[in-house]
Structure 1
Amino acid sequence: MLDRAIRQSGRLLAGAACALAMLGGGNAAAANNDPVILVHGFLGFGPNELQGTGFKYWGGFNDIEAHMRTWNGTHEVKTAVVGPVSSNWDRAVELYYQIKGGCVDYGAARTAQYAAFGKIQKPAGKCWAADPANNPNNYPLALYPQWDAGHPVHFVAHSQGGQTVRTLIQLLENGSPNGNEGSGALYTGGKTGWVKSATTISTPHDGTTLRNVVLNYVPNVAEWAGKFVEVAGLGGSGNAAYNFKLEQYGLAQGPAERFSDFIERTKGAAFWSIANKDSAQWDLSPDGAKELNAWVKTSPNVFYFSIGSKATETGSFCCNGTDRIVAPFQSSSYQYARDDMLFFLKPTAGEWVVPSILVRGMGSYTQEDPSRVLINSSWFANDGVVNTVSMRAPAGQPVRNHTSGAPVRGYWNYLGYYNQWDHFDVIGWLLPATTVYPVFDNIAGIIYGL
């Protein structure tokens, strides 16, 4: 895979140059030096979770966090780690306490809503210490305890991380939509100005049809989440480091428990039920994203930026750069995985799920039930995980194409998409540093210029 990326680097660099021209602002003068918090997506992991491999979520064998710290000076850049399969509510709550410090409180009303699935409001020990001098339980240190309106942050988020950041901003400024959540400081609202900007990369703002496609093929959520992690090489049958962080559902993973053993032990738990909407599998669906977007709005106080990616091509008789082993016969009506797409994304990206018996893939999946989100051919193009059309902005919320000039606060400033880049190319998995670092140099140039 690494050899493939290096051989393709010339093509990728050409694609990057086009995209960077769309982005603009890379040489903007620094107007602030506020900290940057990196937020991972679905099935993401922290910098210490795959010990011994040298592989990072942000950069693969590169290190985006370290690189951003030294862009045109010295900056504070931190990587957050939240539940990889949890709902955006839970991830946002964890993100808040991880930055600010304290013990996680998922909210009384929210917990009651999902009590039937085993939800716990305040799981023991899920804490971060705001003061290293007062940390008798040796909790991990909070990322930025002074966080407030006078000390704002920038968020840079990939995939589901973008939904999570949007949810956190909504809770910070407006509190819970559920009424009384108890004593949790996050739910009181009124925290305007705590976030200067939010940049989302390949985020399914309107959901992804991958969720529907996969559940049509493998209806057990625990099984497909586990298989995805293992095929991607993140967990492996003997890796005890990768952790689902589901203490709020009583599904704590033992410190030495193998990933495969955890999946086997918990696969019957209520959390994994399709009926449980307090999970990533619901929020990432088009219907779940619509429900999320109904209360998570674009704040007039924040600069939003979005970046997309696309790694499929329109079907043809030959010679379109797609993987002809996965899809030897193609229709010009549908989209197909490029031959340089990451191998474990290809089976679901095209017209059919491979192998399957007539289960439609992302490149041809439609949904016409008027009571649900309508899915038509505009959704076919994708990056192997998320439909490109979903990456621009939440449907019905203010958005503009940003190609030059000053960005607009309270709008999604869409920076374009990286063509021929898959979902993990944009965060540097298996790509050379010279290819991926310019993406983040340009983001830094924009956000530090605000």
Structure 2
Amino acid sequence: MFRVSVVALQLIELCVSSVVHLLYGFYIFSSAVAGDLSLALNDFIFRSNTEPSIRDEQFGDNDLPPIVLVHGIFGFGKGRLGGLSYFAGAEKKDEKVLVPDLGSLTSIYDRARELFYYLKGGQVDYGEEHSKACGHTQFGRLYELGHYPQWDEDHPIHFVGHSAGAQVIRVLQQMLADKAFRGYENTSENWVLSVTSLSGAFNGTTRAYLDGMQPEDGKSMKSICLLQLLRFGVIIYDWMDIPFLKYYYNFGFDHYNMSWKKAGIWGLVDLLLGNSGPFASGDWILPDLTIQGSLRLNSHLNTFPSTYYFSYATKRTRNFLGYTVPSNVLGIHPLLFIRVLQMCQWRHPPDVSPPFKGYRDEDWWDNDGALNTVSMTHPRLPVEHPSRFVVEDSECQPLQPGIWYYKVVEGDHILFIVNRERAGVQFDLIYDSIFERCRKHVFRKIPTMPDHVQ
């Protein structure tokens, strides 16, 4: 009986992995991480069947601020996907690192709210006005104990965000500045010590239109497209509400009550027809990743004078005889290569108004297979924020807050995540420089650090 149960468990794990891979296939990670995930899944199936904990450590009150790694779209935190590390083990480079598990497809706004309560503790409050407008419950997951409850202006945090995770951090910082959390009247932008972006989605991506978002408004989807298949799959997955599957991987829409227990058959029909749920209200990640959606977000976001900002933009293209083409074919995952090529050739529909004044297709051709390089360097739209291009870290010493220091790195969109071996020595060089910067060069008061990081 026990052996049959183990076999059944393994089959379930293989099935859910296939579902996740299929859904990834409709956006960034698709086949780009299929082989990488299969290796980790194989390790998971044949290791001990002890259930992993998805709770990170809680840190005591000392002068060394934690570094919080924030995943991007389709991402996951510690303990999901059988213990696979989204950041490919980078969190092991320092003793005070947190890797929160946020909604993988929820909106930037919802994820920023979740991140706050993950750190401070308490039940996630999405806000009454927002919840009513979007048609979901006001309260979400409960964190009985925050992972860094002492977080405040005297105990600020370093944040590192990949892809959409970088925008989540910016929105969270603005919420802190606006004192947007009920019961926390003392928040400020100075709760954030530094922001580091890895292939950050600051200004949107033309990839969103290729996958099915309407270039007319950046909010709605085309009737027939990959994103419609994604929508269908996510609704079915959440409606089935199988506890083991949701524990293994969760898209983050629990506050929409889409399970069969609460929605029923007619609720499922309503969801699939697009009359209810996150895809009907637009309260999910893709509208935030269009150029128009980023403009809407950025119009309310500031770069603050006491925070340090860094950005690594990735690029897998080059100019050849006047054309933008994929570079270093062997360095791009075989199926991510197709997306690099498509984005090189993107043309905004001539019968549709451009997303902003001064838009030019050629500015958006350089890309990493998921985001346009011009979008990743620093916030540019609707107003360009202070920035400085750097080649060597020594060029920007001593560091100044309130400026986006940015580098352009040769690599595709998954250079910093999932598969450390694939990135090679570049992975360690980049993460080592990030952690060293956080520990040695970025502070408002001189910290007391352990000997091994001095």
Q: TM-score, normalised by structure 2?
A: 0.69
Residue of 368, 372, 377 corresponding to 2:355: 372
Partner of 1:104: helix, strand, or coil?
Answer: strand
Q: Residue type matched to 1:119 in 2?
A: H
Instruction: Give the equivalent residue in structure 2 for 1:407.
Output: 399
Q: CA deviation at 1:112?
A: 2.7
Q: CA deviation at 1:146?
A: 1.1
Is residue 45–residue 81 contact of structure 1 (8 Å, CA) maintained in 2?
yes
Q: Residue type matched to 1:39 in 2?
A: V
Report the aligned-residue RMSD.
Answer: 3.1
1:65 to 2:91 alignment: yes
Q: CA deviation at 1:268?
A: 4.3
Identity among equivalent positions (%) equals 28
Residue of 139, 156, 159 corresponding to 1:152: 156
Instruction: Give the equivalent residue in structure 1 for 2:198.
Output: 201
Residue of 425, 428, 435 corresponding to 2:415: 425
Residue of 290, 299, 302 corresponding to 1:297: 302
What is the rounded CA distance, in whole Å, between the counterparts of 1:189 and 1:283 in structure 2?
28
Instruction: Give the equivalent residue in structure 2 for 1:234.
Output: none
Q: CA deviation at 1:266?
A: 5.6
The structure-2 alpha-carbon separation of the partners of 1:190 and 1:56, relative to structure 1 and needing over 3 Å to count, comes to: closer
What is the rounded CA distance, in whole Å, between the counterparts of 2:142 and 2:272 in structure 1?
26
Higher RCO (CA-CA < 8 Å; seq separation 6+): 1
Instruction: Give the equivalent residue in structure 2 for 1:213.
Output: 210
Tell me the alpha carbon deviations over residues 69-126 of structure 1, each in whole angstroms, 9 at most, x when there is no partner.
1xxxxx3111011111111110000000001100011011222332xxx222114xx1
Residue of 121, 137, 159 corresponding to 2:138: 121
Q: CA deviation at 1:227?
A: 7.6
Tell me the alpha carbon deviations over residues 262-302 of structure 1, each in whole angstroms, 9 at most, x when there is no partner.
x99964453353x6332211111111001100001112221
Q: TM-score, normalised by structure 1?
A: 0.69
Q: CA deviation at 1:226?
A: 7.5
Tell me the alpha carbon deviations over residues 18-64 of structure 1, each in whole angstroms, 9 at most, x when there is no partner.
xxxxxxxxxxxxxx73110000001101231111xx532111xxx11
1:43 to 2:60 alignment: no
Tell me whether 370-379 or 389-398 shows the greater mean CA deviation: 370-379
What is the rounded CA distance, in whole Å, between the counterparts of 1:92 and 1:375 in structure 2?
31
Instruction: Give the equivalent residue in structure 1 for 2:323.
Output: 333
Residue of 238, 242, 248 corresponding to 2:249: 242
1:85 to 2:82 alignment: no
The structure-2 alpha-carbon separation of the partners of 1:345 and 1:172, relative to structure 1 and needing over 3 Å to count, comes to: same
What is the rounded CA distance, in whole Å, between the counterparts of 2:202 and 2:373 in structure 1?
10
Residue of 290, 293, 318 corresponding to 1:285: 290
1:55 to 2:84 alignment: yes
What is the rounded CA distance, in whole Å, between the counterparts of 2:183 and 2:297 in structure 1?
22
Instruction: Give the equivalent residue in structure 2 for 1:440.
Output: 431
Is residue 171–residue 189 contact of structure 1 (8 Å, CA) maintained in 2?
no
What is the rounded CA distance, in whole Å, between the counterparts of 1:38 and 1:428 in structure 2?
13
Q: Residue type matched to 1:145 in 2?
A: P
Partner of 1:417: helix, strand, or coil?
Answer: strand
Partner of 1:413: helix, strand, or coil?
Answer: strand
Is residue 315–residue 412 contact of structure 2 (8 Å, CA) maintained in 1?
yes
Q: Which aligned runs of 4 or more in structure 1 are off by greater than 4 angstroms?
A: 225-228, 263-269, 367-371
Instruction: Give the equivalent residue in structure 2 for 1:358.
Output: none
> Any stretches of 5+ residues in structure 2 without a counterpart?
1-31, 37-62, 214-221, 235-243, 262-267, 443-454
Instruction: Work out the number of aligned pairs and report it.
Output: 347
What is the rounded CA distance, in whole Å, between the counterparts of 1:151 and 1:212 in structure 2?
41
Tell me whether 161-170 or 41-50 shows the greater mean CA deviation: 41-50
The structure-2 alpha-carbon separation of the partners of 1:146 and 1:309, relative to structure 1 and needing over 3 Å to count, comes to: same
Q: Summarize the alignment of residues 124-143 of structure 1 with structure 2, pairs less than 5 Å apart.
A: 126-130=141-145, 142-143=146-147
Q: CA deviation at 1:345?
A: 2.0
> Any stretches of 5+ residues in structure 1 without a counterpart?
6-31, 70-74, 131-141, 177-182, 229-237, 255-262, 317-331, 352-360
Q: CA deviation at 1:401?
A: 2.2
Q: Residue type matched to 1:249 in 2?
A: Y
The structure-2 alpha-carbon separation of the partners of 1:266 and 1:312, relative to structure 1 and needing over 3 Å to count, comes to: farther
Instruction: Give the equivalent residue in structure 1 for 2:377.
Output: 392
Is residue 202–residue 391 contact of structure 1 (8 Å, CA) maintained in 2?
yes
Tell me the alpha carbon deviations over residues 178-210 of structure 1, each in whole angstroms, 9 at most, x when there is no partner.
xxxxx7236x57424211001011011001111
What is the rounded CA distance, in whole Å, between the counterparts of 2:418 and 2:326 in structure 1?
22
Instruction: Give the equivalent residue in structure 1 for 2:25.
Output: none
The structure-2 alpha-carbon separation of the partners of 1:350 and 1:41, relative to structure 1 and needing over 3 Å to count, comes to: same
